[in-house]
Every structure is written in C-alpha cells, then in structure tokens.
Amino acid sequence: MSALPPPPYYAVIFTSQRTAVDSGYADTADRMVALAAAQPGYLGADSARDADGLGITVSYWRSEEDIAAWRRHAEHRVARDTGRSDWYQHYTLRVARVERAYAWQRADGLQDPAALTSNEERA
Amino acid sequence: MSALPPPPYYAVIFTSQRTAVDSGYADTADRMVALAAAQPGYLGADSARDADGLGITVSYWRSEEDIAAWRRHAEHRVARDTGRSDWYQHYTLRVARVERAYAWQRADGLQDPAALTSNEERA
C-alpha cells in the first residue's frame, strides 16, 4: 500500500473494465507500474482488480505538471493506445487534489480501541 | 462503473488490506454500499479487491459536508469499528477534490482511432 506524504498532492483515479483480451496486458501493466515509479513527482500507486474485470488504479503525484509529463511519455502513450484497441471495454479517469489523508494499522496482538481511534483521527 | 458528474466534487479513496476474518464482512459491505447510496450528496462509488486481499473503494460526494455527515452516520460508525476489530489489517483514507474527469467507451464494433482519441480528450 502506498505511503502517505503530507497533503496537498494529486491522485489520478483510473477505473476500468477489461475486455477478454489478455494478450500483452500483464507485461505492459507491470512495465507501466515500473515506468511510472521512475517519473519525477511520482509518490506511489495502488491497484486492485475484481474477478469480474473491474479494476481501480490510483497513482499519486506531487503536482499536475508531473501528471501531464507522465501523460506525454512516449511509451505510456503507446500503452494507452493498446489499452483502447485491445484491453479495455470502458474506463474513467479523474484527477483529484488530495486534501486530507489518514492511516490505520492493526496493532500486532495489542488491540487498544482508544489507541486505534486516535490513530485513525490523526491527520 | 459510477457516472461522471461535472467537477468539482469530492472523492473518498479507501485502500485496505483485509485480514483472514470473513465473518459478517460481505453483508456489512453490501449494506454500507446501499446505505451510502441513500445519503445526501452521494454521487457514486466503485470498488475492487484483488485475490490477495488488497482493495480500493472510491466513493464520490457533492461536498465535504456530505462526507462528514456520512462519517457521523451511526450505522457507518459501527461498521468502521468492526472493520478495525475484525476485517482490516491496515488501511488508508484520502479525501480529494476531483478537478477533471474523462470517460472512454469502446465503440461497439466500430473502432475509429480518431474518434476514440477525441473522446478521451474531451471535458
């Protein structure tokens, strides 16, 4: 799970429904994860996909300029084109400014409800 | 997949790692989806969970006040408490302001690359 830098920063929320076409998908997805992580301003990403093919990937970025630069990356453009021709039935993409963030972590073997609550409430 | 209202609006990005404890989880998750959808200012939600237990739920709201009201909902509070005691190993929660949104949909049987590109670039 990606780390929590201090806000504000930006989230790119990519929600997609896959087609049945698998050819090249996993390799390209892995490559895009690695390539994104090497870009300026990249802060982390999380991804999950249901058995029925609905997936959500959220990547986090320092600024809108960093998102725009990643969008212009040549290899990323090619991957997006193949996504539209082969892998996706439909998708939505939202750019959002993260204003607040919280984390909670289970205390190993020690569940103090008061501690958990204060942990969740911190900013 | 949730609809795209005109920005700005707010996203609550909930990323979680499940424990192995399943008792009551699916019923409560279904109930929270239905209950959230009945709250003022609710605009939609998407959810996906990997086979390894990492999940992302993004819910969309008209305003921060609507998010705060949903956070205070009594039944939602109980579900969150049970989530911390039983279902989640760790989680992060981010509140973000959606500033831009795009959608792309496969044209049935008609794949015109120019049309697809302009479709993605709109908004």
Q: Which of B21, B94, B116 to mutate against chain A (most A CBs within 10 Å)? A: B94
**pLDDT at residue A115, rounded to an integer:** 41
Q: What are phi and psi of B90, to 5 degrees?
A: -160, 160
Q: How far apart are CA A83 and CA A81, in angstroms?
A: 5
Computed over every residue of chain B, the mean pLDDT equals 89
- Nearest CB partner across the interface for A1, out of B85, B90, B113: B90
The H or E element that residue A90 is part of is strand A88-105
Q: Does A111 touch chain B (CB under 8 A)?
A: yes
Angle at A50 between CA A46 and CA A56, to 5 degrees: 35
Q: Is the dihedral of CA A39, A42, A44, A48 positive or negative?
A: negative
Residue ranges and CATH numbers for the domains of chain A are 9-102 (3.30.70.100)
**More reliable by pLDDT, B117 or A83:** A83
Interchain CB contacts (distance < 8 Å): A and B: 144
Cross-chain residue pair B49–A48, CB shorter than 8 Å: yes
pTM of the model: 0.88
Q: How far apart are CA B82 and CA A42, in angstroms?
A: 34
